[in-house]
Structure 1
């Protein structure tokens, strides 16, 4: 009987376990998870803070019991201390009893996920500085926000921006701090981020941008966040400055990126035989650049986890890569993106062009309509579509999925301009705004 060890069970681990058991119901699958829960949708933390979640228990889509019923041998509240990937053994400690035990395996699945970036800043270990990653963090943030009058959020990526938004909605005076000079600078380009910053200002969120945090000072009943340019005191602070792969167990045993992400091929195989990795602990193949990259998203984790089961015995289904397609709602602004922004292209040393179009999303004869800002990035040499960004006070999330498929299929701006998009006045204009921005790009090329 083949024995599999799955280390870590959030998204990639949950779906890897399910897919392995579906493909190989006679295999023995051991799942090791240091927490008492699994499958937590951390993207819902900010929504829960703002009372937009019907039941926090529904933020978990699976459970130890469900995986056990599927055939897995569950080791919850168990910390894996060491792994010998070549010798195919691991040592784990039961966190309830303290007992340590060695386990042998035939195949190893590393789905250890990611950990919050915690910079070496003085005072960062204060009880008034919270993290935002897992269920325990969610409980702490929800409890603090219930009675707090003020908060500082450090980091204006998706998580930080959403927390700042929801804090402001529930009446917590909020300051949003970031070393970058724009909010969501890694996710969207300036025509869009400018409008987001206006929305924050309208809701009394103080923006402290272009300011690196130098120190946290515990005031006893709160914390002062000290930056290069100012000081911001609040009841608590939340650190949301990014994530790193939690892969120390395998360091030196398999090929990794400099940040610790395990390099996997299109079948989720690491550089050592019988070792697989998926999700935030692994690389993704980023289609806009054609290179391995590190992009921790739940969507990537789910798809990679499913592929583990398909390929763990025989390479069967290749990974199609990712465009890092994502979306966020901030106040009444819907934002969605796929692929490279101009900022992302510049950071990677790529020469791209960007075409901008602002146009109503449906005909003016309708009783209501609203403008959509569309940004399309493309390669001037090949004319290939490399990214798209959209913003409106309407649901434009589907546009990012359209651009995602265009990038994955190596569409040129000419191809995208000639796609057969629907027209119906309730939904769009005779020329769908994705097609319209592509037409404008084709004319500029």
Structure 2
């Protein structure tokens, strides 16, 4: 069996390693246009901020490791053309320009994503940098040595983490986003308002609800970002606007979403037999809606890549879908979310109710305790949980993984209220905070009068 793999980031590495172990007699060739593999881009801000001292730790595999598995590892090789039905590839060696053709029995497409690069006037100026791969991170660190005013465009996870890192390094930092709130795709306003306050308390300028119009510079270097509402001085600009799937090679050959994300079945096979795809180049099944969506996350990528290998010869293990679960730490706040925020659920046409719960996470007789804030989003009629968010100074983020499982298993708020959790004063209260979140939802939108009475009774006992 001859297997070709295009791209070797998270999904590609997972697919290759598992495939090599499962099919030791297979001929596996990987084509990667970069000179490194498996870089954890989520660690860029930690590297920039100096938390990670040794960048080698941000790689969890290497071309040398793949070669020890018997994989033909072709670094600095770019695939120029794919004939999915004809099972052929055209490849260029980027070191010497040589082009050649190859064939495959099975094709694994893990080409990942690339940052969205808007065509603003002045985009070609020096010191305007992307934030995606290892080379970008090194460039950011080098340029930051002489930069005083840093502007980050895009208030998603990467952008927010970077402004924190730059502020901690003593830079004057501005965060620009066209949305009215930071992290607006991940968290509702109850949480983002508090994060924005913490950023401003540190002296970070938030230029929200502002659209970038152009960049201005002198002697070929950026000096200013001009927006719809003003101007911001900039010695360096980081673009963190978002990502698009790298799928041009299969355009008009396999089924895709309008944005180019490849559609796969539950076994990671595309609409063309023997052509598989995984990771940021793909759409995933989003469990809160049951529909295909584009959610580029490393966690999704490694799961999908592993499933490609397991299902390459025989369809054995189906993909379980995702909740898009994520977490972030901004200064002292630990934040995590899973599934749909309230705004997104309503925009998707779901008839939802919400509830929030805030309490000390463990008994007040303990020497120290901290408040934790939770929010849950659920369907009014079915009572099915579709989303949850949390924030606390103590790290309770693993609780979001529990709520992710609840969404995946289509649990109701009533079931959450009575799930069996342990009690130990070091960690929680007799009624676990997740149980209490379920009761808060029952209070906010009771399913029946009987359940309303039950919820009120339990709440009274909890407060006693």
Write the deviation string for residues 97-126 of structure 1: whole angstroms up to 9, x where unpaired.
Answer: 111110111111110000101122111222
Aligned residue number for residue 261 of structure 1: 261
Task: Confirm or deny that 1:394 pairs with 2:388.
Answer: no
TM-aligned CA deviation for residue 218 of structure 1: 2.1
Identify unmatched segments of 5+ residues in structure 2. Answer: 446-464
CA RMSD of aligned residues (A): 1.0
Aligned residue number for residue 6 of structure 2: 7
Superposition pairs of residues 372-383 of structure 1, within 5 angstroms: 372-383=372-383
Aligned residue number for residue 274 of structure 2: 274
Aligned residue number for residue 162 of structure 1: 161
Write the distance in 1 (CA, Å) between the matches of 2:148 and 2:120.
25
Write the distance in 2 (CA, Å) between the matches of 1:174 and 1:400.
31
TM-score (norm 2): 0.94
Write the distance in 2 (CA, Å) between the matches of 1:358 and 1:443.
14
Write the distance in 2 (CA, Å) between the matches of 1:161 and 1:348.
26
TM-score (norm 1): 0.98
Aligned residue number for residue 84 of structure 1: 83
Query: Is the 1:361–1:428 Cα contact (8 Å) retained in structure 2?
Result: yes
TM-aligned CA deviation for residue 12 of structure 1: 0.2
Q: Residue 26 of structure 1 aligns to a residue in which SS?
A: coil
Write the deviation string for residues 326-347 of structure 1: whole angstroms up to 9, x where unpaired.
Answer: 1000001100011010122133
Superposition pairs of residues 159-198 of structure 1, within 5 angstroms: 159-198=158-197
Aligned residue number for residue 286 of structure 1: 286
| Pair 93,417 (structure 1): closer, same or farther in 2 beyond 3 Å | same
Query: Is the 2:125–2:222 Cα contact (8 Å) retained in structure 1?
Result: no
Superposition pairs of residues 304-383 of structure 1, within 5 angstroms: 304-383=304-383
Q: Residue 434 of structure 1 aligns to a residue in which SS?
A: helix
Aligned residue number for residue 410 of structure 1: 410
Most deviating of 120-129 and 11-20: 120-129
Write the distance in 2 (CA, Å) between the matches of 1:223 and 1:249.
37
Aligned residue number for residue 301 of structure 1: 301
Aligned residue number for residue 241 of structure 1: 241
Q: Residue 11 of structure 2 aligns to a residue in which SS?
A: helix
Q: Residue 435 of structure 1 aligns to a residue in which SS?
A: helix
Write the deviation string for residues 203-253 of structure 1: whole angstroms up to 9, x where unpaired.
Answer: 100000001111111234543111100110111000001100000010000
Write the distance in 1 (CA, Å) between the matches of 2:124 and 2:162.
20
TM-aligned CA deviation for residue 29 of structure 1: 0.8
Superposition pairs of residues 422-441 of structure 1, within 5 angstroms: 422-441=422-441
Q: Residue 374 of structure 1 aligns to a residue in which SS?
A: strand
Task: Confirm or deny that 1:99 pairs with 2:98.
Answer: yes
Write the distance in 1 (CA, Å) between the matches of 2:129 and 2:350.
37
Q: Which has the larger radius of gyration?
A: 2
Most deviating of 222-231 and 334-343: 222-231
Write the distance in 2 (CA, Å) between the matches of 1:68 and 1:152.
41
Write the distance in 2 (CA, Å) between the matches of 1:438 and 1:141.
44
Write the distance in 2 (CA, Å) between the matches of 1:403 and 1:206.
34
Query: Is the 2:246–2:281 Cα contact (8 Å) retained in structure 1?
Result: yes
Write the distance in 2 (CA, Å) between the matches of 1:58 and 1:90.
33
TM-aligned CA deviation for residue 42 of structure 1: 0.4
TM-aligned CA deviation for residue 442 of structure 1: 1.6
Aligned residue number for residue 442 of structure 1: 442
Task: Confirm or deny that 1:74 pairs with 2:73.
Answer: yes
TM-aligned CA deviation for residue 147 of structure 1: 2.8
Write the distance in 1 (CA, Å) between the matches of 2:418 and 2:430.
13
TM-aligned CA deviation for residue 284 of structure 1: 0.7
Write the distance in 2 (CA, Å) between the matches of 1:214 and 1:346.
31
Identify unmatched segments of 5+ residues in structure 1. Answer: none
Write the deviation string for residues 124-159 of structure 1: whole angstroms up to 9, x where unpaired.
Answer: 222221100011111111112233212000000000
Aligned residue number for residue 35 of structure 1: 34
| Pair 347,225 (structure 1): closer, same or farther in 2 beyond 3 Å | farther
Q: Residue 338 of structure 1 aligns to a residue in which SS?
A: strand
Query: Is the 2:336–2:389 Cα contact (8 Å) retained in structure 1?
Result: yes
